[in-house]
Amino acid sequence: MASSGTSLGSSSWRKPKHQQHFQVCFCFKRIFKLKVSEPPEEIRSIFEKFSENNNGTVMSVDGLYRFLVRFQGERDCDDTKHKAQAIFDSHKHLFLFQRKGFHLDAFFRYLLGDDNAPLLQVGHDMRSPLAHYFLYTGHNSYLTGNQFSSNSSTAPIIKALKKGVRVIELDLWPNSTGNSVEVRHGRTLTSPVKLRACLKAIKEYAFYASKYPVVITFEDHITPPLQSKVAKMVNGIFGDMLYRPSSQHIMNKFPSPESLKEKILISTKPPETPEEDQEHNEERSSEVNYMMRYNSYDKDKNGDEDEEKEDNSLEYRDLISIHAGKPKGGSGNLFISHEKVRRLSLSEDQLEEIAKTRATEIVRFTQKNLLRIYPRGTRVDSSNYNPMVGWMHGAQMVAFNMQGHGHLLRMMEGMFRANGGCGYVKKPNILLDENEVFDPSAFRLPKKNLQVMVYMGEGWRSEFSPTHFDLYSPPDFSVELRIYGVPADESIKETMTMEDEWVPVWNQEFIFPLTVPELALLYIKVVEHDFKGKNDFGGQTCLPVSELRQGIRSIRLCNQKGEPYKHVRLLMQFQFI
């Protein structure tokens, strides 16, 4: 590592004004000169280009308007003029602002501010069937930690709903006495939580972050009498909020999110009808048939019990607006088209295996039906899998363990930052085309190139202690850029490492060819290099490429839990070429 404040040689930097001292040992200190945050040279040039006066030191409202239209890709209209004026007005309190217009530092402050965010504020068409959308989906939504021994609680359900999650999973089991229903991860050491408490929490927070419908998936391990209790409980708590299709037995397409605003939908495998029950009985083994033949129950009593069971089943069945279940006949019949739409669930491993030979069948199935993917059972630590495998095959409900951390969960959050963060993202048309069914692994030429310029970063000195990253010197930062998407588009690039800099300036450009930009996500991570040990984490975020705003943007970074830092951000530029 270099010491004593080695200069980057950039003319954009002022003379350093501060020093930082590091005590290496009892009698030796390392002294580093600290640079202040200042516009890189290219930002200076852009400012001068759109400034009015001869020496390029002041930018008027008209100059800012021209910058927004010509460089940032904003529309040439009155709304953009009003936006330029609003930006000016919002910076009047700064000492950098003078009556005649922006000076360079005020312009720079605007570029790094939250008003210059990287994503478009777009609204997707919400009038198509539910099957045409990706839904923000949780797995075992009630668990607070790992999948084997953590507590069950309403807290993670509330947290998920506040983040915009739209699909909540509850596992229903009989309690210890068998007379009531509780929510827990069966056959593990996880503690239970009352079903009523979970349903009340959902009712209270369902539409906290979004008005679009919430789907509750029940993993049902309860008897018909308990199903009847659940039916009464659900009806009593949700009332008119509960969606009941008027002709659910012949529903050939799902309703739209728009038509289901502020509605709760129940999805589970429905109880068998008498006809299905009879068919099931005929398929039982000869041993079971032999035992039934010698059953000595009173005939009338049996009739009464069957009638009560049917009443219980019908009451529970009427709750279910999205029917779940697998067709009979094994994996060969999984994607057979039926008149009635349904939900199918596959594990991540099942999906990967089936997709090797039947990718287009899966995509075609998801054009009308719902496909839910869930983590394999060995993910006891609440880790997650690559969600892109599900999305690129059209799976709407890619269920994630929200209790975990890691970059895969950040991918999930990145996808659902699209469409205003409402928890529903419209599938790209390529996944909905019934004539030319999408094959994720097929060869394609790039549709466009994403050009990314990484200018600089700032905020770490305000967010962390002087020795957080290194005991003996300022940090050594680099930026990792990664595209997640179809296999042909995935790519990783990294800037150079800027040694001993709290305000690193990279000025590096990268180009990512994209064959399916509609599905691509840009994951951004800052790494602090420790050349003698494990690297440190410096921030991250994930952005949907389809909604990136072109031009120079402020990228606010998050910690390892996905919570935004107050000060840490990058200055970057995006262009599609």
Within a domain: 356: yes
Lowest-pLDDT range of 18-32, 475-489, 512-526: 18-32
Lowest-pLDDT range of 189-193, 284-288, 332-336, 529-533: 284-288
Q: Are residues 162 and 236 in the same domain?
A: yes
pLDDT in tens, 492-508: 999 999 999 999 999 99
Cα–Cα distances in angstroms (integers) from residue 306 to residues 39, 218, 300, 522, in the given order: 78, 24, 10, 57
CATH number at residue 146: 3.20.20.190
Asked whether residue 280 carries a pLDDT value surpassing 90, the answer given is no
Q: Are residues 454 and 364 in the same domain?
A: no
Lowest-pLDDT range of 16-20, 78-82, 549-553: 16-20
185 included as an active-site residue: yes
pLDDT of residue 101: 79
Q: Are residues 416 and 512 in the same domain?
A: no
Q: If you average pLDDT over every residue of the chain, what do you get?
A: 88
Asked whether residue 392 carries a pLDDT value surpassing 60, the answer given is yes
pLDDT bucket at 235, cuts 50 / 70 / 90 = very high
Average of per-residue pLDDT across 51-57: 76
CB burial class (10 A; 0-12, 13-18, 19+) of residue 384? buried
Q: Which of 103, 132, 139, 393 is catalytic?
A: 139
pLDDT in tens, 255-264: 999 999 999 9
Q: Are residues 320 and 197 in the same domain?
A: yes
Asked whether residue 515 carries a pLDDT value surpassing 80, the answer given is yes
Within a domain: 302: no
pLDDT of residue 278: 52
pLDDT bucket at 313, cuts 50 / 70 / 90 = low
pLDDT of residue 306: 54
Q: Are residues 158 and 230 in the same domain?
A: yes
Within a domain: 121: no
User: What percent of the chain has a predicted confidence (pLDDT) above 90?
Assistant: 73
Pairing of strands 214-220, 264-268: parallel
CATH number at residue 110: 1.10.238
Residue 170: strand pairing partners: 218
**Tokens 């039947």, residue located:** 358
Within a domain: 1: no
Considering only CA atoms, which of 239, 244, 248 is closest in space to residue 260?
244
Average of per-residue pLDDT across 108-114: 94
Asked whether residue 13 carries a pLDDT value surpassing 50, the answer given is no
Which of residues 1 and 126 earns the better pLDDT score? 126
Which two three-digit tokens encode residue 538?
């410096």
Q: Which of 103, 124, 132, 185 is catalytic?
A: 185
132 included as an active-site residue: no
pLDDT bucket at 152, cuts 50 / 70 / 90 = very high
Asked whether residue 67 carries a pLDDT value surpassing 50, the answer given is yes
Q: Are residues 177 and 236 in the same domain?
A: yes
Asked whether residue 6 carries a pLDDT value surpassing 90, the answer given is no
Q: Are residues 263 and 386 in the same domain?
A: yes
Q: Are residues 418 and 455 in the same domain?
A: no
Measured CA angle at 152 (ends 148, 156), to 5 deg:
110
Lowest-pLDDT range of 249-253, 378-382, 433-437: 249-253
Average of per-residue pLDDT across 373-387: 96
Within a domain: 436: no
Distance, CA of 153 to CA of 141 (rounded, Å): 9
Residue 121: strand pairing partners: none
pLDDT of residue 14: 39
Lowest-pLDDT range of 204-218, 269-283, 293-307: 293-307
Q: Which of 361, 396, 431 is the last residue of a domain?
A: 431
Within a domain: 288: no
pLDDT bucket at 94, cuts 50 / 70 / 90 = low
Whole-structure pTM value: 0.89
pLDDT of residue 126: 98
Asked whether residue 288 carries a pLDDT value surpassing 90, the answer given is no
Average of per-residue pLDDT across 91-113: 79
pLDDT of residue 98: 58
pLDDT of residue 102: 85
Distance, CA of 157 to CA of 142 (rounded, Å): 6
**Tokens 């179809």, residue located:** 486
Which of helix, strand or coil describes residue 288? Answer: helix
Distance, CA of 481 to CA of 185 (rounded, Å): 37
Q: Which of 401, 431, 461 is the last residue of a domain?
A: 431
pLDDT bucket at 339, cuts 50 / 70 / 90 = confident
Helix (H) or strand (E) holding 516: none
Distance, CA of 522 to CA of 248 (rounded, Å): 40
pLDDT bucket at 172, cuts 50 / 70 / 90 = very high
Asked whether residue 12 carries a pLDDT value surpassing 50, the answer given is no
**Number of structural domains in the chain:** 3
Asked whether residue 168 carries a pLDDT value surpassing 50, the answer given is yes
Within a domain: 299: no
Q: Are residues 400 and 265 in the same domain?
A: yes
Q: Which of 116, 147, 162 is the last residue of a domain?
A: 116
Asked whether residue 56 carries a pLDDT value surpassing 70, the answer given is yes
Q: Domain span at residue 543?
A: 448-576
pLDDT of residue 284: 39
Which of residues 13 and 316 earns the better pLDDT score? 316
Within a domain: 413: yes
Q: Are residues 418 and 353 in the same domain?
A: yes
Q: Are residues 338 and 222 in the same domain?
A: yes
CATH number at residue 469: 2.60.40.150
Asked whether residue 15 carries a pLDDT value surpassing 60, the answer given is no
DSSP per-residue codes, 20-82:
EEEEEETTEEEEEEEPPP---HHHHHHHHHT-SSTTS--B-HHHHHHHHHHTS---SSHHHHH
Q: Are residues 261 and 182 in the same domain?
A: yes
Average of per-residue pLDDT across 101-119: 92
